[in-house]
A and B are shown apart, each in its own frame.
Chain A
């Protein structure tokens, strides 16, 4: 049963536009993440965030930024999208930010940049 909710499911936009994706988790977890899955199904972490610390993968372009109002929400904003941003963006959460804790994923937001 899904407990990490993402909206929208799909989004099509033009190069240069700004987009924002929402994510909410109802698991009471302390840590949330954004992952990017490309057309070859490769999964790469973009951000890791808990109520204490935001950690950014150094390969993520600066036009991407996470936004959090509380520990249950972590949105993703892309300031000026580019064609290579077309991908599925997966939000996830875990009880802790380390160790053997499982990560729970949302169903993803598919972004198409035209």
Chain B
């Protein structure tokens, strides 16, 4: 069964710094897809970035990038030049390629506070 673990419950950083949020996963599949989502204070969940397991290059979108370490089953989210509006809860998620039940399994989330 697939499992996603985010051990950091909350992080606080100063504005304009870089932050890394950790995520480790468990899967029996050789092919899978990893996602990061952001939930704002209003409750809205927004897709940020994705990493396909068969790709060696780390994905980058805007000021979000990933640190994909496949041997460690780890997919860290890096936010550079953080802004106040980056304050939110960040969820790591995984979907396996196979499996009878198509589902996106989420981690417990990491709450990020960006301080001025």
Contact = CB atoms under 8 A, between A and B. Distances in A.
Interface of A: 2, 31, 40-45, 48, 55, 57, 88, 90, 97-100, 102-105, 107-108, 110
Determine chain B's interface SS by DSSP, over half rule: strand
A2 B102 contact: no
A88 B50 contact: no
A22 B106 CA distance: 23
Contact of B97 (A42, A98, A110): A98
Range of interface residues on B (Cβ < 8 Å): 20 to 34
Contact of B35 (A2, A55, A102, A108): A102
A44 B2 CA distance: 13
Contacts of A98: 95, 97, 102
B47 A102 contact: yes
